Structure 1
């Protein structure tokens, strides 16, 4: 049966180092007068039940951003900044639902039907993970693995994967039944990895 909104916990991944932005906390950088993470939360919140924010820095600031959505703050349990899988594990452990929808903090235009489409694909393919792919004007496909709907029962397997020193998202996905859902609007998954890309976002209001 396709997961319902109430069966899905949303996870905003905001625990990175932001190295390509000079080490700033990427989710807190301003876009059109609000932090990037605030834009993402507004699009994510209507699609899920409970909400979590994975943050390793400035937890009080993120707690304030998440307060209108009753979001709880979780931090990585691995030492240092171990990458998105560490944040994903924290979310899988903290979620009280059967499913977790993860999104990055720097993609303010994520689709408003992301959860529904991933849930449909996960159910119809009897998959463990549903993630996102886009196709550009030249027919080239790109994978966006941190946008994903996962079964929370995968937490122990992910913990073992990380304990073995592994860090690559796609390598962990390959261990499980994973389906890629193709979205045609690349702009919806545009993310700001640098100050220049953030400036590009500032000049463009993006999808409605």
Structure 2
């Protein structure tokens, strides 16, 4: 990052079932000659230290990316918080105090995403990215965050008790947020449906 900040570990969340895309791995879909995962990696690598991929099933399909592949520790595809927990556990094993999360289907996220989260975190144990909204003020992006690994046992217990909504858990811990604005469109635009791939291609420039 070039400013003396600690280079944090990061987890790319790719553990979803992609039902609206007909199943499979959204990160392996091609967009403008490269996979979504390749585009996400290109944005993320300059901002962080070690990177792992959270994905379920046979890890061999991601072998060409050279990343450690970490499955959810809870069965049944319980949502993105399970991937965050996997990242927390992995980061704790590395001796890190925090881990960054990004989604594997979001190719336009900011190139200064991590440094801005760090700058805006304050004392909060969780900091989420957000985008401005004319009526709600802002909308949080629950898969893009900075997470204290000290919360991993609390998160594990919450998931085992049935909690699934990210913001319910993050609000419980006084999460802060950093708002990202962009004149080029939503920086956290994600690929959920086939038509989203078309829109992403039309958006074009990978800046």
TM-score by length of 1: 0.90
Q: Hey, what does 1:99 align to over in structure 2? A: 98
CA–CA distance in structure 2, aligned partners of residues 175 and 77 of structure 1: 22
In structure 1, the gaps of 5 or more residues are none
Matched, 1:172 2:181: no
CA–CA distance in structure 1, aligned partners of residues 205 and 58 of structure 2: 28
Partner of 2:75, secondary structure, is coil
CA–CA distance in structure 1, aligned partners of residues 82 and 117 of structure 2: 22
CA–CA distance in structure 1, aligned partners of residues 123 and 4 of structure 2: 12
Partner of 1:174, secondary structure, is helix
Partner of 1:187, secondary structure, is coil
Partner of 2:186, secondary structure, is helix
The answer to whether the 8 Å contact 1:40/1:107 transfers is yes
Q: How many residues align?
A: 200
The answer to whether the 8 Å contact 1:25/1:57 transfers is no
Partner of 1:103, secondary structure, is strand
The answer to whether the 8 Å contact 1:3/1:119 transfers is no
Q: Aligned-pair RMSD on alpha carbons?
A: 1.9
CA–CA distance in structure 1, aligned partners of residues 76 and 4 of structure 2: 34
In structure 2, the gaps of 5 or more residues are none
After superposition, the Cα gap between the structure-2 partners of 1:195 and 1:134, relative to the gap in structure 1 and judged at 3 Å, is same
After superposition, the Cα gap between the structure-2 partners of 1:100 and 1:159, relative to the gap in structure 1 and judged at 3 Å, is same
Shift of 1:136: 4.8
CA–CA distance in structure 2, aligned partners of residues 59 and 203 of structure 1: 32
Decide which of 83, 90, 96 is 2:79's aligned counterpart: 83
After superposition, the Cα gap between the structure-2 partners of 1:167 and 1:136, relative to the gap in structure 1 and judged at 3 Å, is closer
TM-score by length of 2: 0.90
Q: Hey, what does 1:184 align to over in structure 2? A: 181
